[in-house]
Structure 1
Amino acid sequence: MIQLTGNDLDARALARIAAGAPVALDEAALARVAENRAVIQRILDEGRTVYGINTGFGQFATVVIPPSQLAQLQLNLVRSHAAGVGEPLPQDQTRALMAARINCLLKAHSGIRPEPIRLLAECLNRGVLPVVPSQGSVGASGDLAPLAHMALLLVGEGLAWEGDRHVPGGEALARAGLTPITLEPKEGLALINGTQLITALGNLAAARLMDLIPLADEVAALSLEALRGTRAPYDPRIHKARPHPGQIEVAARMLEILGPTSEIAESHRDCHRVQDAYSLRCIPQVHGVARDALRFAGEILQRELNSATDNPMIFTDTQESRSGGNFHGQYPAFACDLLAIAACDLASISERRQERLVNPAYSDLPAFLTREGGLESGFMMAHVTSAALVSEMKLLAHPACVDTIPTSAGKEDHVSMGPIAARKLWKAVDALEQVLALEARMALEGVRILGMAPAEGLRPLLERLDRACPPWHDRPMYAEISGTADALREHVRQSLA
């Protein structure tokens, strides 16, 4: 069980929640939430007019709502803002969205009671998950539409998942023995105002990249051996002279994996080649900046995961409400776009190594890694698949956060388009995983064809691939790619164990 406090949730823990881990609410945080809620009650008791509590929203901020209609105001807000379209978020992403919003509410700046937070956590733990359309948020004023679909469940409306089908939210609550809530002043806004769609998807993608970026080093090392490349470019003196942290780390890791030599390396010690191509020689520089990008973007996404992103913000110590712009998604949007660029570049250099593996003009290997060329096509189409994936990733790498379309009658005149950045990132990470699987499978075959022992540090990866992938003779390639991807995932799991 993962305890949510509002302060220390990270990408790995969020990924565990997405995969099904239950959550517990920190009681001290809930006590602070209750104290913060008292500020709302004081504002109401004093008859003050405060945005989001007893006014309309956005363009209607100057419309004052009488006390008798404040509950209806919050319900109307949630209903009207549940305007999402498109394919629903997968259930694991929905779980992450719910957990991220709970964690935000526990910051105790939202003016919400503890009861809606407890109900949201109960829904998460009992698998009562809202159906949340993936499109409809521009990532400023928060991810209003997705979070409104989530909030509808708490009032017994909207749709919920039941296995693979959708059922009315009220029915799903009743079957779980849960009772819907009646929203009180400020609570509808508190549930929907924030960056949690961008932040949840961004952190889940970052958690995957934490595994894929180091894996790319191992796969590249396997290709280096299959292509009979040199270890010389990884000399630490080279990288100390250009001291980017990621570059230094990757160079050191390549030497750790490859060791000083191997049977393959000894076989070409006195060959005629002077330098390798950039896709081999510049692995530290290209893989390294991806590591640095993940470090930078990951810090942004983790801070955002533990931030209060409401408007207005409620401050318990001074008993005040202050309007601001913490709902604006530019920070996580930038982070997601940067990670999509990093994923694309890792895939791009991987595809270049694959070209060298299948093209006999660039290596000592037979064309398309088959000794039966003509009768067999070998890995011809595998490389085409990789090229197609990388081309699509270049489109996904185009930043979304530089676009803006003003909304809400010009009140929201600069928006982040962060949810688009987050969804693009997710697709890019999926594609990177497939591209690395294609490279690993080709490099495995290249090493087999050479018939010599590769570096000792590659043994765990090779043993995993060997079990999953028999020596190549033409057979359905899709199954080979899928099996290789599965083997790589298991290799990563074992490496982390």
Structure 2
Amino acid sequence: MSPSAAPSPAPNPVEISAATTAEDIVAIADGAPVSLSPASREDVGRMKEAADRIGAAHATYGRSTGVGANRTTTVSEADDAAAEHGRLLVRSHATDAGTPLPHRAVRAMAATRLAQLAQARSGIDPAVPDALVAALNADALPEIGRYGSIGTGDLAALSALALALAGERPTSAPLVVPPIRWGADSALPFLSSSALTVARGVLASDELRRLDRASRVLYALAIVAFEGSVEAFSPAAAAAISAPGVDEVAAEVRALLRGHDARAARIQDPYGLRVHPITQAALVTAMVRLDAQLGRLVTAAQENPMFDAAAGTVTHHGGFYQAQLAGDLDAASLAIARAATNAHARLRLANEPGYTGLRPFLAEGPAGASGLMMLEYTAAAALAEIRAAASPASLGTISLSRGTEEDAGFATQGVVQLERAVEGYRVVLSCELLSVARLVAQRGATLPPRLRPLHGALAGLMPEHQDQDLRPPLQAADALLDGLAEVSP
């Protein structure tokens, strides 16, 4: 039920360079046209020439050898044999399966791989980044199944993209450049990346950041609606918590409530109203770490092997092993689980007459009306999914390719679980928003100046409060969340 992207105007063009950001990847995913900076293209070309010289002088994984458990098998370096080796490598690794990924995720993957190749350490043919630019601008990308990656490189997905650039897989629009002829010089370098996992992490984190901003506005509305105590997010309380991110959350809530001077209904509120700055700060801290790692990986040259033109060397390594990313993804999912639990607590409070002074479930109409009773169930179902997704993916392990990769990283599973957690969190917040909107209306609460522009939108979610099909107003609440994220404190 949730949108995957916030509404936005036509995106501006994005130039890919060494300074590409996660925000650029989101813009390209949403349809922004791209170009490769002239300096980056020149660097890629120079590195290709250097890699050819270095590869001719040194045994090089994937160029002069097979891959995985075939790494000890020498491959002929004759032109025809090298070309055939590259083509077969791409074809054999294109084993994606399952439900197709959203097209937006495929665009983000292609953009991420382009940004990584722009760092010019792979020795790839410059025709490849040129083809990626053309494919993105023509929106000529393949359908890619969601299975095939385990956190040590998105080989299956990138092979599918490589086959599309070679004209061997259908694309969403016609290719406008000659098909790529995958030789040994470019096949493995193109596949040697976690671009899909990174891209999906970028998109999930972008939506999570919007939901975090929306949750702060929603919490401020809840304080007004429940006549909650402002002491829980006072400067003194924030200082006492002694945890990163609390000052930021508490200060933003205070700013949103500036001008709110209603007396608190209780000397001390339940946890749902009292500990939000703590749970939300834990989420903020997790997002800061995750965003920092994703930002590094968007422009990371992690191809194995990688070349150094100045030193004339080729380095074989395991830098593509995404242990840090897996841990950061897990931390974000765990933080969502705690924040969503706190949101569900406020939802339950809204159904209790002891905290609202109103009828059970904020019902109107005949005795026994159910009102918003079922919002608890819907939110609880989403919360159950969030908690299941919070089981650490980074604890997983498996041995592959005859033991060559004896401990896969499972960052890809971590990003799948984060996507599930973000989707569930959106549902929980939508349920809370609908409940708080009704509570504000039934109590005739006066919103402080910063929140007052939301009054009409809140009332419009459910103009009538008699028992009704809750799906349409819940969908409207879902759509309003992105608007809440734009409210300035």
Q: How far did residue 146 of structure 1 move?
A: 1.1
State the distance in 2 between where 1:410 and 1:373 align.
68
Equivalent residue, structure 1, for 2:212: 213
Contact 1:343–1:432 (Cα < 8 Å) also in 2: yes
* SS across alignment from 1:161: coil
- Counterpart for residue 199 of structure 1: 198
The counterpart of 1:51, out of the listed 58, 61, 72, is 61
Report the Cα distance in structure 1 between the residues aligned to 2:455 and 2:340, rounded to whole angstroms: 21
Hey, what does 2:324 align to over in structure 1? 331
- Separation in structure 2 between the aligned mates of residue 384 and residue 11 of structure 1, nearest angstrom: 36
Matches of 1:435 and 1:390 in 2, distance apart?
A: 7
Partner of 2:71: 61
Secondary structure, counterpart of 1:134 in structure 2: strand
* Separation in 1, partners of 2:309, 2:297: 21
Q: Is residue 21 of structure 1 aligned with residue 32 of structure 2?
A: yes
Residue number among 157, 162, 165 corresponding to 1:154 in the alignment: 165
Report the secondary structure of 2:98's partner residue.
strand
Structure-1 separation of matches of 2:82 and 2:367: 76
Alignment-derived partner of residue 255 in structure 1: 254
Gaps of 5+ in 1: 163-171
> Which residues of 2 match residues 439-454 of structure 1 at below 5 A?
439-454=432-447
SS at match of 1:131: coil
Instruction: Please say if residues 465 and 488 of structure 1, whose CA atoms lie closer than 8 Å, have aligned partners that are also in contact.
Output: no
| 2:330–2:414 contact (8 Å) kept in structure 1 | yes
Is this contact kept in 1: 2:99–2:145, CA < 8 A? yes
Distance in 2 (CA, whole Å) between partners of 1:39 and 1:153 is 27
- What residue is the counterpart of 1:103 in the other structure? 115
Specify the alignment match of 2:133 in structure 1.
121
Structure-1 residue corresponding to 2:227: 228
| Counterpart for residue 32 of structure 1 | 43
Cα distance between partner residues in 1 of 2:472 and 2:370: 16
3-state SS in 1 of match to 2:172: strand
Is the partner of 1:401 in helix, strand or coil? helix
Do the aligned residues in 2 keep the contact of 1:434 with 1:485 (CA within 8 Å)?
Answer: yes
Secondary structure of residue in 2 paired with 1:245: coil
Amino acid at match of 1:201: R
1:495 Cα deviation (Å)? 5.4
Partner residue of 2:397?
404
Return the letter of the residue paired with 1:93.
Answer: A
Q: 2:452: which partner in 1?
A: 459
The CA distance in 1 between the partners of 2:483 and 2:257, in whole Å, is: 21
Q: TM-score, normalised by structure 1?
A: 0.92
Where 1:178 maps in the other structure, the secondary structure is coil
Q: Are 1:293 and 2:286 matched, yes or no? A: yes
Matches within 5 A, 1:86-101: 86-101=98-113
Distance 2:172 2:487 in 1: 32
2:306 corresponds to which residue? 313
User: Contact 2:244/2:281 (CA < 8 Å) preserved in 1?
Assistant: yes
Q: TM-score by structure 2 length?
A: 0.93
Could you tell me which of 356, 359, 362 is aligned with 1:366?
359
Pair 1:131-2:143 in alignment: yes
Q: What percentage of residue pairs aligned between the two structures are identical? A: 30
Q: Which runs of 4+ in 1 moved over 6 A?
A: none
Q: Deviations over 1:2-52 (max 9, x none)?
A: 1111x3222322111111011110110111111111122213544x42211
Residues 450 and 488 in structure 2, CA contact (< 8 A), matched pair in contact too? no
Structure 2: runs of 5+ lacking an equivalent: 1-12
Aligned-CA RMSD value = 1.8
Contact between 2:214 and 2:482, CA under 8 Å: does it hold in 1? no
| Contact in 1 for aligned 2:87/2:187 (Cα 8 Å) | yes
For the residues of structure 1 that align with 2:85 and 2:304, how far apart are their CA atoms?
Answer: 16
Match of 2:408 in 1: 415
Give, in whole Å, the separation in 1 of the partners of 2:185 and 2:268: 65
